[in-house]
Amino acid sequence: MNIISNLIIPLLVLIVVVYGIIKKINVYDVFVSGAKEGLEIGFSLFPYLLGMILGINILIKSDFLNLVFGIFKPAFNFIKIPVEILPLAFLRPISGSASLSVLSNLLETFGPDSFIGRVSSTIQGSTDTTIYILTLYFGSIGIKKIRYALKAGLIADLVGIIVSIIIVLIIF
């Protein structure tokens, strides 16, 4: 099996080169042109990514989230939902790496078989990085009006979070 996995990419490259030769396409020039276009796209996306990363870091480092979550703690305790999952629920639509870091911390602190561990794992798998996706993809093609896509994505994330909590409560 290891031999097959080591040969897959070289075989795919060989197939593409042979196909290009059969079709009389200058494969190297097409490759260089594609690589140049990829770099241009990467450079055009960089300001959007930089702005988003800067905003996320300011939000996390400012301790603003802990202040906000402290306000909601009594309400969440009343409905028996652990307030510890709030940072994950808040960060998941913004950044995949930040939410993965929060998930890792929750799993280390409470364990993967705890209620918090199960809910946070389910949230991580049931939601998406909506704001990241909109920033990256819409920014790369120049779409400025993202209002409806943002609303739909955030509502889907909210539904994913609520259903994750309900499913874990029912199953476990």
Give the residue ranges of DSSP H helices in 93-137: 96-110, 115-126, 130-133
CA distances from 105 to 41, 76, 169 (A): 34, 20, 21
Contact 56, 87 (CB under 8 A): no
Going by C-alpha positions, the residue among 139, 105, 138, 141 that lies closest to residue 120 is 105
CA dihedral angle for residue 22, residue 24, residue 26, residue 27, rounded to 10 degrees: -20
- Provide the 8-state DSSP code for 114: S
Taking Cα atoms as reference points, which of 130, 129, 127, 128 lies closest to residue 164? Answer: 127
Tell whether pTM > 0.85: no
pLDDT digits (tens), the chain, 172 positions: 788 888 999 999 999 999 999 999 999 999 999 999 989 988 887 887 788 778 877 877 788 877 888 888 899 889 888 999 998 998 899 888 889 988 998 999 999 999 999 999 999 999 999 988 888 888 778 888 888 999 999 999 999 999 999 999 999 8
Residue that the structure tokens 């990085």 belong to: 129
